[in-house]
Structure 1
Amino acid sequence: MQLLRLLPSALFGAALLCAVVFLKTVLRARRSVKPVVAFFHPYTNDGGGGERVLWCAARAVQEMAPALDIVVYTGDSATPESLAARALDRFGVRLVKAPLVVKLDKRKWVESKTYPRFTIIGQSLGSMVLAWEALSKVTPLIFLDTSGYAFTYVFARAAGSLVVCYTHYPTISTDMLNRVRDRTALYNNDIRISRSFLLSMAKVWYYRALAQLYGLAGRCAHLAMVNSSWTRAHINAIWRIPNRTVLVYPPCDTLTLQALPLERLPQKQYIISVAQFRPEKAHDLQLEAFALALEQLSLQNMEARLKLVGSCRNQEDENRVDSLKQRCQDLGLEQNVDFCLNVHYSELVKLLGGAIAGLHTMTDEHFGIVVVEYMAAGAVPIAHNSAGPKLDIVVNEGGHRTGFLASSVSEFADAMCHVVTLPANERMEIAQAARVRAALFSESEFDSAFKKAMNPLIEQAFRFACNAESR
């Protein structure tokens, strides 16, 4: 039985080794390493925290090594000028100069719709196809993945690049294994599987085999930066390279948001939810909890308003928004919920500045940049009681509460009611403590930690470039 469990991993590991040897021969024969730092980020229009990391990291590298060009591998139709403008308009990040763009034409290989079944392994292997295309066009001195495609590290290392990653979320985690083993239904564990013992055991076996492959790929990284204590624990458990794994909290725009006043106009108070319209963000739970909160508030002759703010990346996201609007009608919420789609950064700041509370309902959110943004802006966070928000963010600061944690519909509803009915001075005490806590996750803190982690590899890249020029 034990041999059967290890057989798929052993076979794929052998195939991976053969691929490495082949690639090392072919790529080095065909392509010379270029004196550039290349960011592997196939979706440069996702609008989330991952994209903010991309632009802050790119700016940091430009400041550290102005002699090295920055390249962005993207599947979007973009120009250097459009990416630089996007970094500034959407995130307030001003790059030293516009990055070079390498267009990826094979992005369909990492799209979830390409793999209706076995999505994780399909996307992981598909990312290797995309990495082949990227490295065939430009083989960089430093290959820096900011999207979590660990299987690309095998090809990048074989091509002769120094491999760096910023991991937001482990592709496979022990929490995922436990959830399937315990037969818990969630967005990444279909209810049909959770109800079947045999299907659940088969999925556990599949996840275990995939975790071994994920570990093999992850160990190809020369440097692994992780965004939270939760992510670090899972990466250390699976990749087993703790001496090359560094915790670097993601950059949050606390400076701009901390300039906002803590006071809120009583007649215009509302709760805000900032999240991409994806299944794991649990917008349905938010609407159900908000409907329950309105029922409770009506008993006190009080009302509340919810603003759902987020970006739509594609038609699938737009369909999801339409479904949520229909859900609002079913729950009788259409007069109390606003949808604010694809807003510019300046508008987002204005919306955060008027909110009394910020809602975040994703289970096992790796970090939760938006929770920090709520805190910096003076909106009391109401976040899911798991992972990053629980371990790193919504914790007491100087003995004072910084927000609320919840897990169920009723808990989120109770928390919303509590914040709405809080006296202004008590709410501001919580908001002030939260703002102090949020300063630990500023862009300047990220910049300092990122540069410290990257410095040895930048120096190594410079030595390589100098040696290449002397030859």
Structure 2
Amino acid sequence: MLIIIIVTLATVIFAGILCFGPISGRWRRKRAVAFFHPYTNDGGGGERVLWCAVRAIQEEIPDLDCYVYTGDYHDATPQSLMARAVDRFGVKLLSAPKVVHLYKRKWIEETTYPRFTMIGQSLGSTLLAWEALCKLTPLYYFDTSGYAFTYPLARLFGCKVICYTHYPTISMDMLSRVRQHTLMYNNNASIAKSVWLSRCKIVYYTFFSCLYGIVGSCAHLAMVNSSWTQSHIEKIWRVPDRIKRVYPPCDTSGLQVLPLERSAEIPVLISVAQFRPEKAHVLQLEAFSAAIKRLDPSLPKPKFQVVGSCRNKSDEERLEMLKKKAIELNVNEHVEFYKNVTYRDLVGLLAGAVAGIHSMTDEHFGIVVVEYMAAGAIPIAHNSAGPKMDIVLDEDGQQTGFLACTVEEYADAMLRIVRMSEMERLKMAAAARRRARRFSEQKFYDDFKAAVHPILYHISR
């Protein structure tokens, strides 16, 4: 612990010096923008933002070279990444981005740090960024993965630092849960039950929050994806004039052409999320099981399609655990699992769903919730953060979906949708689709370009 404190204190001093007086590096900066995104195969909303950001920069300044720092060195080539952007997200890049392969990604793997994971990954990210910046020093360093501890280092190399922050690494909500001894994926039972350990964790979180505020304030421009994220980042980083809210790109145009009508023979509920612990898939299965048990015998039993991507072995193991959980709950005959599906296949699945399930607590925004709405699937989202504050709100006085927290609340919402008349469902689905237009891909491009324009043109022109 003492070593961690010494290292992090050094980081604070280092960051403070850089923020008040950037140091010119001895490295030659290339007239380029480089995106720091170590996992270019994660398949989530963050990857969609990456490819849309690359395209936006290509449109804004065509002669500016675009690079991607990636740790996927086995299968990441300019051509494969360009093809992936189209296949998985429907984003057509103007040209293939150049690739800088990173070989020290283990330093940001959560498995590398069984304890003090946040500080370990954060400091590990600086080692990975050192490798990246030594291989290529761009004029603009663009972080799309939330590694704020790399910003002072990029400043040291003389880069302009821009970031798109999907969620704060630490938030006031996290501190609150530790104080309240709330059991959660990032606050295990041994700590939640212990007053002494909880106090130690509060000290750790408070200390880390101070560090996070200092390094985050080194960004020249910070774009955030929601009202909830903006509120937390402004409180911690304390540079509100450099923080711009830019809602993430959601595939509303491609999904809105799908017909709102759905087959009434077997209602389909769908869940689209990476197989990560915070996505709370177990809660979804338990809620589906509870709904099945309470369903009227005269109504057909719905089908539950669980769609997601696996980043690593841990995610693969989590998927296998969920399959066993479905058997344990005796709903396996009504549950289908889909792993790493293509964008085209995902659209096909969304086209048949009457409802879309989302269950992550404090989901910073919730791109998938918007995609449900655009596709005509009524959302059942967690009653917190982005879905609550920005997305699942009434449109022209019409309800657009449901918010829930507990297994019972999710089960109630599932049953309400399954029991709806076709006219009632179409009315709500149409309102949800209208609401989704507020978060279109074009809206992202417009707001993104407006935010980065002053920085890009201040140097480039």
Specify the alignment match of 1:270 in structure 2: 268
Specify the alignment match of 1:452 in structure 2: 450
1:354-365 map, 5 Å: 354-365=352-363
Q: Deviations over 1:410-468 (max 9, x none)?
A: 000000000001000001110000000000000000000000000011102314xxxxx
Q: Residue 27 of structure 1: CA displacement?
A: 7.4
Specify the alignment match of 1:438 in structure 2: 436
Which one of the candidate residues 188, 198, 204 is aligned to 2:202? 204
Specify the alignment match of 1:125 in structure 2: 123
Specify the alignment match of 1:80 in structure 2: 78
Q: Mean alpha-carbon deviation: is it higher for 345-354 or for 292-301?
A: 292-301
Matched to 2:146, the amino acid is G
Could you tell me how far apart the structure 2 residues matched to 1:106 and 1:450 are? Answer: 30
Specify the alignment match of 2:155 in structure 1: 157
1:68 aligns with 2:56: no
| SS of alignment partner, residue 68 of structure 2 | strand
Q: Residue 269 of structure 1: CA displacement?
A: 2.2
Structure 1 residues 455 and 22, CA, compared in 2 at 3 Å: closer, same or farther? closer
Cα root mean square deviation, aligned: 1.7
For the Cα contact (< 8 Å) 2:16–2:214, is it kept in 1? no
Matched to 2:145, the amino acid is S
Specify the alignment match of 1:182 in structure 2: 180
Could you tell me how far apart the structure 2 residues matched to 1:426 and 1:266 are? Answer: 13
Could you tell me how far apart the structure 2 residues matched to 1:15 and 1:61 are? Answer: 31
Matched to 1:28, the amino acid is G
Q: Deviations over 1:153-190 (max 9, x none)?
A: 01001111000000001000000000111110111110
For the Cα contact (< 8 Å) 1:21–1:158, is it kept in 2? no
| SS of alignment partner, residue 337 of structure 2 | strand
Q: Residue 62 of structure 1: CA displacement?
A: 0.4
Specify the alignment match of 2:337 in structure 1: 339
Q: Deviations over 1:129-175 (max 9, x none)?
A: 01111111111111010000000001001111000000001000000
| SS of alignment partner, residue 25 of structure 2 | helix
Which one of the candidate residues 310, 325, 328 is aligned to 1:327? 325
Could you tell me how far apart the structure 1 residues matched to 2:79 and 2:69 are? Answer: 15
1:348-427 map, 5 Å: 348-427=346-425
Could you tell me how far apart the structure 2 residues matched to 1:130 and 1:412 are? Answer: 41
Normalised by the length of structure 1, the TM-score is: 0.94
Q: Residue 314 of structure 1: CA displacement?
A: 1.5
Q: Deviations over 1:254-284 (max 9, x none)?
A: 0010000000011142000000000000000
For the Cα contact (< 8 Å) 1:36–1:141, is it kept in 2? yes
Gaps of 5+ in 1: 1-7, 464-471
For the Cα contact (< 8 Å) 2:378–2:429, is it kept in 1? yes
Q: Deviations over 1:288-310 (max 9, x none)?
A: 00000000114454411100001
Q: Deviations over 1:7-27 (max 9, x none)?
A: x97984445434787999997
Could you tell me how far apart the structure 1 residues matched to 2:189 and 2:18 are? Answer: 42
Aligned pair count reads 455
Matched to 1:356, the amino acid is V
Matched to 2:49, the amino acid is V
Structure 1 residues 47 and 15, CA, compared in 2 at 3 Å: closer, same or farther? closer
Q: Give 4+ residue runs of structure 1 displaced > 6 Å after superposition.
A: 8-11, 19-27
Specify the alignment match of 1:32 in structure 2: 28
Matched to 2:395, the amino acid is E
1:304 aligns with 2:296: no
Could you tell me how far apart the structure 1 residues matched to 2:341 and 2:15 are? Answer: 44
For the Cα contact (< 8 Å) 1:27–1:136, is it kept in 2? no
Could you tell me how far apart the structure 1 residues matched to 2:196 and 2:249 are? Answer: 43
Matched to 1:176, the amino acid is M
| SS of alignment partner, residue 454 of structure 1 | helix
Could you tell me how far apart the structure 1 residues matched to 2:285 and 2:196 are? Answer: 34
Q: Residue 315 of structure 1: CA displacement?
A: 1.5
Q: Deviations over 1:333-359 (max 9, x none)?
A: 110000011110000001001000000
Q: Residue 232 of structure 1: CA displacement?
A: 0.2
Specify the alignment match of 1:141 in structure 2: 139
Matched to 2:366, the amino acid is G
Specify the alignment match of 1:315 in structure 2: 313
Specify the alignment match of 1:42 in structure 2: 38
Specify the alignment match of 1:224 in structure 2: 222
| SS of alignment partner, residue 34 of structure 2 | strand
Could you tell me how far apart the structure 2 residues matched to 1:460 and 1:25 are? Answer: 17
Could you tell me how far apart the structure 2 residues matched to 1:62 and 1:15 are? Answer: 34
For the Cα contact (< 8 Å) 1:372–1:393, is it kept in 2? yes
Could you tell me how far apart the structure 2 residues matched to 1:313 and 1:298 are? Answer: 39
Could you tell me how far apart the structure 1 residues matched to 2:188 and 2:382 are? Answer: 21
Q: Identity over the aligned pairs, expressed in percent?
A: 59
Q: Residue 191 of structure 1: CA displacement?
A: 1.2
For the Cα contact (< 8 Å) 1:274–1:359, is it kept in 2? yes
Specify the alignment match of 1:244 in structure 2: 242
Could you tell me how far apart the structure 1 residues matched to 2:70 and 2:304 are? Answer: 34
Could you tell me how far apart the structure 2 residues matched to 1:15 and 1:274 are? Answer: 38
Structure 1 residues 131 and 10, CA, compared in 2 at 3 Å: closer, same or farther? same
Matched to 1:63, the amino acid is E
Matched to 1:297, the amino acid is L
Matched to 1:53, the amino acid is V
Normalised by the length of structure 2, the TM-score is: 0.96
Could you tell me how far apart the structure 1 residues matched to 2:24 and 2:149 are? Answer: 17
Specify the alignment match of 1:462 in structure 2: 460
For the Cα contact (< 8 Å) 2:12–2:214, is it kept in 1? no
| SS of alignment partner, residue 333 of structure 2 | coil
1:55 aligns with 2:47: no
